[in-house]
Amino acid sequence: MGRITLDKVTKSFGDVNVIPPLDLTINDGEFVVFVGPSGCGKSTLLRLIAGLEDVSSGQIRIDGEDATNLPPAKRKLAMVFQSYALYPHMSVRKNIAFPMKMAGVPEDEQKRRIEGAAKALNLTDYLDRRPGQLSGGQRQRVAIGRAIVREPSAFLFDEPLSNLDAALRVNMRLEISELHNQLKTTMIYVTHDQVEAMTMADKIVVLRAGHIEQVGSPLELYREPRNKFVAGFIGSPKMNFIEGPVAAQQGAHTIGIRPEHITASASDGMWSGIVGVAEHLGSDTFLHIHETGLAETMTVRVNGEFNLRHGDKVFLTPEMDKLHKFDAKGLRI
Amino acid sequence: MATQHSRSAARLMMAPAVMLLLGWMLVPLIMTLYFSFKKYLPMRGGDLGWVGFENYARFVTSSAFWPSVYTTLVIVGGVLLITVVLGVFLAVLLNQPMWGQGVVRILVIAPFFVMPTVSALVWKNMFMDPNYGLLAHLWEFFGAQPVEWLSKASMTSIITIVSWQWLPFATLILLTAIQSLDSEQLEAAEMDGASAPKRFAYITLPHLGRAITVVILIQTIFLLSIFAEIFVTTGGAFGTKTLSYLIFQRVLESQNVGLGSAGGVYAIILANIVAIFLMRIVGKNLDA
Amino acid sequence: MARAVTTQRKIINTAAAWAVGLAIFFPILWTILTSFKTEAQAIADPPLFLGFDWTLENYSVVMERSDYAKYLWNSIIIAGGSTLLGIIIAVPAAWSMAFVPSKRTKDILMWMLSTKMLPAVGVLYPIYLLFIKLGILDSKIGLVIVLMLINLPIIVWMLYTYFKEIPGEILEAARMDGATLKEEVIYILTPMAIPGIASTILLNVILAWNEAFWTLNLTAAKAAPLTAFIASYSSPEGLFYAKLSAASTMAIAPILILGWFSQKQLVSGLTFGAVK
C-alpha cells in the first residue's frame, strides 16, 4: 500500500515561504511526476514527504496514518538521490544490504533479496565492487537496488537521471518504467525534464513557485493545459504563443498552437513567413520561421523530408480545432 | 535538519576547543600587556612598579631596535623573493611531462620535513664552515678564497638556510595550484596565437596569483618568528638579530621582562597586520 | 590534456627536473652519506662522495654517548601526545561545525585561525612564568599541552575540511535507510572520516616533531626532545661531522618517511583550505 495525502502542507525557510498551503493526493500504485523549472519547490516537496525536512504546518498522511512527525526511517519510503548517495566505503552488496541490516532482516532473507535485486538490475557481477569502481548507470542501479530491497510502500526519486548522459538517460527511463510495471508500487519522481514527465508518469504535477499549476495525466496536460505556463512547459518543441489582433479575432488575449498542429506549405496558407534555421531530425524537421508578423519566431514541425531552405518563403495553416485560447491572466478560456 | 536539540549538543561539543583556545590566547596576552607597563626584572629585584609607556618608548629607542627591524625585513623579504620566484619556476618545471615525476617531487619536498635545528646545524658546519665545509672546498676548487659565511656573509647565509627550508612549501602549493589550471585555457590561448612565454605571463601567472598571495602571507607569519635557525647558527650575532630574537634576548637572556613584553606587544601587532590580510583570503574561500 | 610530447622534450624536462631535485635534496643526501663515514673521511679534502669505507660506528657512538633513546622517546611522547590530545578535543568541535553549522561557525573558525598567528615570542615570558608556577617547566606534559594548543587550530580546520566533504545526501540516505543517529555515526560517518583523521594526525605529528621554539625554550635536561638534542650538538661536537650526521639522520629519518606519505594533505592543511 502506498497512498500519500498532503493536507494544507506549507514550508518556510526563515522568512521565505517555499511551499504555500498545498493539497495533493497520490494514490496507491501511481507513478507521479513532480515537474517544474528549477527552484519551483519540487525537491522540497519530495523531501517533506520523505521526512528529511519538517513541514511548517499541515499534515502528511501515508496510508491514512498521520506521518507528519515521523522520522524518515519510520515512513516505509525509499529514496533514490540525485547523487545516488552510495556509501563509498561499502561494497555494492553491503550498500544494498544496509537498510535491511538496519531493519534487522534475517541474514538469509537479506541474501535472497540482494540476489533478487541484483538479478533484476543486472548487478550480479558487480556485487563485490565498491561504488567508485562503477559507471554512472551502474551506480544508479545500485541506488535503486538499495531502495527495492526494503520493499517500501513508495519510492521517491529526486532527479535520478540528471547525472547521466543522454543515451543512458533514455535506457534508465525505460528501466524505471519497467520496474514500476513489475512492482506496481507507488513512485514519486522529481524532474525538471518534461520529456521524462510525459514518458513515465501516470499523473503529472506541474509546480511553479511552490504552487501546483495543474495535476493530470500526461495527455490531459498536453490537450488541455490549464494556463499558459503549463502549455509552454509541457510539449516539445514549445507551444507557439500569438498575441494581438490575430488572438483577438479568436476572442482571446493569447492563442497558443503547438508546432505539430501547424501545416506548412510552399504555395498557400493562412499566414506567411521566411524560413530561418531548419533542424532535420530525420523523422521530423523543425522549422524556425521569422517575419510572420505574429510572434518573433514560430516553430513548426513538418515531416522529415520537407524541402524548404533558409530564406525561402513559407505558408502556414494552423489546425483551428487544436488552438488553445488564454485570457489576459494566462488562464485557459 | 538541525533541530534545537542538535544545536545545543553542537555547542557542547565545541566548548572544550573554544575554551582552551580562548584561554591560550587571553591569559598570556593579558600577562604580556601587564608586564609591558612594569619595570620587571626577575633576577634584579623583581617587580619594581608601574612605568607607563616607558618600556614601549625604550624598546623603540634602543640602539638594537632599528637594526633588528631592518634585519627582520631583509630576511623575510629575501626568503619570500627567493622562495616565490624559484617556487614558480619549480612548479612549472615539475608540471612538465617527464620520467620519475613522483620521485623528483619527493626530493624537492624533503627539506620541509627536516627539523629546523638539524638544517641549521648541517648548513652551518658541513656546508658553511670556512675550513671543512663543502662550500669552502668548492670555492677552493675554483681557486677562490673560502668565505667565512656565518660571520662575513651572515645575512646571505641565514637567508639561504631558511629559503632551503621553505622552498618546498612554496613549490608544493604552487604546483598544486598550477595543476588546477584548466589545460583548455592554455590551449585556447595557444589557438589565439599566444606564444609560450605569453601564455605563462597572461594565463599561468594570473592563475597562480592567489596561491602566491597565500604562500607570501603564510610564510610571512612563520618567518617573522624564525628562531632556531638563528639560535643555532649565529646566536643573533653578526647583524642577524631579528625583532623576535631581540625580544627573546630581552626576556630570557637579560631577564628584562617589562622591556621584552613591550617588544612582544609590537610583534603581536605586526603579526596581526599580516594576519588580517591572510584571514581575508581564507575567509573568502570559506564562503565558496 | 594528453598531448603527444616529443621524446626529446621529455628527456630535457627529465634531466632538468632531476638535476634541480637532486640539488635541493643534496644537503640531506650529504648528511646521510657522511653519517656512514669515519671522522677522518668526513673532512677529507677533496670530499669523498661514495668511495669510502661504510661504517655504522657513528650511530653506536651517538646512541651510547648522548642518551639518544631518551630524546627520541621525549619526541615521540610530545609529538604523539599533543596530536592525540588535539584530535580528541578537535573531532567533536569540527564535527559539530561541519554537520550542525550555525551563523557563527565561520566566525569561530576564523577566530581559531587567528590564535595561530600570535607570535610565540610575544607570549614567551607569561608561558614561562606559568610553567614555573605550575611546576611543569621541563616536563613532557607541559610541552604536550603547549604543542597541542598551537596546533589545535590546524587540527580543527583540517578535520572541518574533511568532514565538510562528506556529502549530506549520504547522511540523508542513511536516515532514509533506517539508521539511528548512533548507527549513522558508527556505520557511515566514522568509516568515511577515518582517512581524513589519519591525514590530520600525520601532518600534526610532523609539525609537532619539528617545532623548535617552545621545545627549545621550555625544556632542559629532562624533557628535551630531538630538536633540543641536535641544538646541543652546536659546539663543540658539531665539528665531528660524521657523528653530527648520524645524530641528524636519526632525528629526521622517521619524519621524512612520514612526511612523504602526507604530501597531499600538506597543501590543504597548511593553507587552511585556501589552496586545494
Q: Which domains does chain A have, with CATH numbers?
A: 4-232 (3.40.50.300), 237-326 (2.40.50.140)
Looking at chain B from residue 203 to 222, which residues have their Cβ under 8 Å from any Cβ of chain C?
210-211, 214, 218, 221
- How far apart CA C244 and CA C247 sit, in angstroms, is 5
C272 within a domain of the structure (yes/no):
no
CATH number of domain containing C130: 1.10.3720.10
Q: Does C166 lie in the same domain as C108?
A: yes
Q: Is the pLDDT of residue C127 over 80?
A: yes
Q: Does C141 lie in the same domain as C53?
A: no
**Domain ranges, residue C22:** 7-58
Query: Number of folded domains in chain C?
Result: 2
Contact C245, C58 (CB under 8 A): yes
User: Cell match 591572510: residue?
Assistant: B278
| Residues of chain B with confidence (pLDDT) below 50 | 1-2, 288
Residue B275 has its nearest CB partner, among C90, C114, C130, at C114
Contact B239, B154 (CB under 8 A): yes
Would you mind telling me the total number of residues written for chain C in this entry? 276
Question: Given CB atoms, is C49 within the 8 Å cutoff of chain B?
Answer: no
Query: Which phi and psi angles does A215 have, rounded to 5°?
Result: -125, 135
Domain boundaries, chain B: 79-209
DSSP category for residue C118: S
Q: For C161-184, how does the pLDDT look when each residue is reduced to its tens digit (9 = 90+)?
A: 888 888 888 888 888 888 887 888
C202 within a domain of the structure (yes/no):
yes
Strands A254-257 and A324-326: antiparallel
Q: Does C179 lie in the same domain as C97?
A: yes
Q: Does C147 lie in the same domain as C116?
A: yes
User: Is C177 within 8 Å of A98 when comparing Cβ atoms?
Assistant: yes
- How far apart CA B251 and CA A94 sit, in angstroms, is 62
Strands A31-35 and A186-191: parallel
Q: What is the pLDDT along chain A (333 residues), one digit of tens a residue?
A: 689 999 999 988 878 888 888 899 999 999 999 999 888 889 999 999 998 888 889 999 999 889 888 888 888 899 999 888 899 888 999 999 999 988 888 999 999 999 999 988 889 999 999 998 898 889 989 999 999 998 899 999 999 888 888 888 888 899 899 999 998 999 999 999 999 999 999 999 999 988 899 999 999 999 999 999 999 999 888 999 998 888 888 888 999 999 999 998 888 888 889 999 888 888 888 999 988 888 888 999 988 777 788 888 899 999 989 999 999 888 998
CA–CA distances in Å: residue A126 to residues A92, A93, A131: 7, 8, 9
Q: For C131-148, how does the pLDDT look when each residue is reduced to its tens digit (9 = 90+)?
A: 888 888 888 899 999 999
Q: Does C209 lie in the same domain as C79?
A: yes
For the entire predicted model, the pTM comes to 0.79
Contact C150, C123 (CB under 8 A): no
Residue A83 has its nearest CB partner, among C169, C177, C180, at C169
C243 within a domain of the structure (yes/no):
no
Q: Which of chain A's residues have a Cβ under 8 Å away from the Cβ of C188? A: 87
Kindly indicate whether the domain formed by B79-209 is annotated with CATH number 2.102.10.10.
no
Residue B264 has its nearest CB partner, among C121, C233, C244, at C121
Q: For A234-284, how does the pLDDT look when each residue is reduced to its tens digit (9 = 90+)?
A: 988 899 999 888 888 888 899 999 999 999 888 888 888 999 988 888 888
Residue C167 has its nearest CB partner, among A50, A72, A83, at A83
Question: Given CB atoms, is C212 within the 8 Å cutoff of chain B?
Answer: yes
Q: Does C137 lie in the same domain as C14?
A: no
Contact B224, B76 (CB under 8 A): yes
Residue B13 has its nearest CB partner, among C93, C101, C234, at C93
C237 within a domain of the structure (yes/no):
no
- Going across the sheet that includes A186-191, the strands are A77-80, A154-158, A186-191, A31-35, A203-208, A211-216
Contacts of A293 (CB under 8 A, 6+ apart): A271, A273
- How far apart CA A45 and CA A190 sit, in angstroms, is 9
Nearest CA among A127, A140, A6 for reference residue A62: A6
Q: Which of chain B's residues have a Cβ under 8 Å away from the Cβ of C18? A: 100, 104
Sign (positive/negative) of CA torsion B29, B32, B33, B34? positive
- How far apart CA A176 and CA A120 sit, in angstroms, is 11
The whole-angstrom distance between residue B105's C-alpha and the CA centroid of its chain comes to 22
Contact B255, C78 (CB under 8 A): no
C261 within a domain of the structure (yes/no):
no
Counting residues of chain A whose pLDDT is more than 90, the rounded percentage is 47
Contact C160, C122 (CB under 8 A): no
DSSP category for residue C5: -
Contact A91, A128 (CB under 8 A): yes
The whole-angstrom distance between residue A217's C-alpha and the CA centroid of its chain comes to 12
DSSP category for residue B201: I
The distance of A143 to chain C (nearest Cα, Å) reads 10
Q: Which of chain C's residues have a Cβ under 8 Å away from the Cβ of A149? A: none
The distance of B1 to chain C (nearest Cα, Å) reads 8
Q: Which of chain B's residues have a Cβ under 8 Å away from the Cβ of C5? A: 97
User: Is C177 within 8 Å of A150 when comparing Cβ atoms?
Assistant: yes
Q: Does C190 lie in the same domain as C111?
A: yes
Q: For C105-125, how does the pLDDT look when each residue is reduced to its tens digit (9 = 90+)?
A: 888 888 887 887 778 888 888
Q: Which long-range contacts (CB under 8 A, 24 or more apart) does C24-27 make?
A: C24/B107, C24/B108, C24/B110, C24/B111, C24/B164, C24/B167, C24/B168, C25/B107, C25/B108, C25/B110, C25/B111, C27/B111, C27/B119, C27/B122, C27/B123, C27/B126, C27/B127, C27/B164
User: Is A73 within 8 Å of C169 when comparing Cβ atoms?
Assistant: no
Residue A155 pairs in a beta bridge with A78, A187
Looking at chain C from residue 137 to 196, which residues have their Cβ under 8 Å from any Cβ of chain A?
167, 169-170, 172-180, 183, 187-188, 191-192
Q: Does C213 lie in the same domain as C151?
A: yes
- How far apart CA B165 and CA B151 sit, in angstroms, is 21
- How far apart CA C266 and CA C269 sit, in angstroms, is 5
* C-alpha cell read off for C190: 566514522
Q: Does C86 lie in the same domain as C20?
A: no
Percent helix / strand / coil, chain C, rounded to 5: 75, 0, 25
- The pLDDT assigned to B193 comes to 78
Chains A, C: CB contacts within 8 A come to 59
